[in-house]
Amino acid sequence: MKKLMMVVVSISILAGCSTEADRMAKCEAQGIDKPTCYLAEQNRTTAINAAAEKQALENAANAVQHAQAAHVIDPMREATLTGPGVKATVSNGFFKATINNKKAKVKRLNANYYEISGAGYIVSISLDKEGIQSASYTKQYSKTNGIMQVQQ
């Protein structure tokens, strides 16, 4: 919107804040015939409208990008991971975690992979740009393992 206002103000300044009739009179006073002056005025109006339309399209594109960015999952929000016999929660940006309602340790292996250990389980969490992509568990000192359901 600011760009549109700047374009309109710039054109107004260049046009000397005159009306269409004033511009037509000045054009005809320079010895240019009326149809040519009228065509120049129509071209001026078309240029102003095209600039306004271009700005409106840019504003709409920015609004769509902003709306899409608003759907990014908040890593500070709590997520619950469930599997057969195991329930894990992570919150506060993966700084706090529990497994089966007992405090657990969080280990960050890289920006997209975390491990939570406690209560006899290790929970592996894989992330993508939208949040938790997948989670699995392994029971310590056992071959029991599986995929966990994620609720964010």
- The pLDDT tens digits for 25-77 are 888 898 888 888 888 888 888 988 888 888 888 887 777 665 555 444 555 57
Of 69, 89, 115, which marks where a domain is finished? 69
Same domain, 89 and 140: yes
Please check whether residue 17 is in contact with residue 62, taking contact to mean a CB–CB distance below 8 angstroms.
no
Name the residue range of residue 131's domain. Answer: 79-151
Same domain, 46 and 87: no
Q: In this predicted model, which residue has the larger pLDDT, 4 or 87?
A: 87
How far from 61 is each of 4, 54, 65, 130, 140, CA to CA, in Å?
A: 15, 11, 6, 21, 51
Distance CA 76, CA 68 (A): 19
CB atoms within 10 A of CB 106: 18
Are 85 and 132 within one domain? yes
CA distances from 10 to 40, 48, 151 (A): 18, 11, 54
CB 83 within 8 A of CB 144: no
Of 69, 95, 110, the last residue of a domain is 69
Task: Report how far Cα 147 is from the mean position of its chain's Cα atoms.
Answer: 31
When divided into structural domains, the chain yields a total of 2
**pLDDT of amino acid 119:** 93
- What integer is the mean pLDDT of 127-142? 89
Residue 125 has pLDDT above 80, yes or no: yes
- Is residue 41 a part of any domain in this protein? yes
| Shared-domain flag, residues 137 and 84 | yes
Same domain, 102 and 128: yes
Clarify whether residues 7 and 62 are in a common domain. Answer: yes
User: Cα–Cα–Cα angle for 124, 130, 132, nearest 5°?
Assistant: 15
- Inter-axis angle of helices 34-69 and 2-14, nearest 10: 160
Give pTM, 2 decimals: 0.51
Whether 132 maps to a domain, the answer reads yes
> Hey, which bits of the chain come out as E strands?
79-83, 86-91, 96-99, 102-103, 105-110, 113-118, 121-128, 131-139, 145-147, 149-151
Residue 136, domain member (yes or no) = yes
State the average pLDDT over residues 84-98: 88
- Asked if pLDDT for residue 5 goes beyond 50, the answer is no
The residue assigned the tokens 């992570």 is 90
Length of the chain: 152
**Looking at the structure, do residues 15 and 47 belong to the same domain, yes or no?**
yes
Residues 56 and 96 in one domain: no
13 and 40 part of one domain: yes
Residue 74 placed within a domain:
no
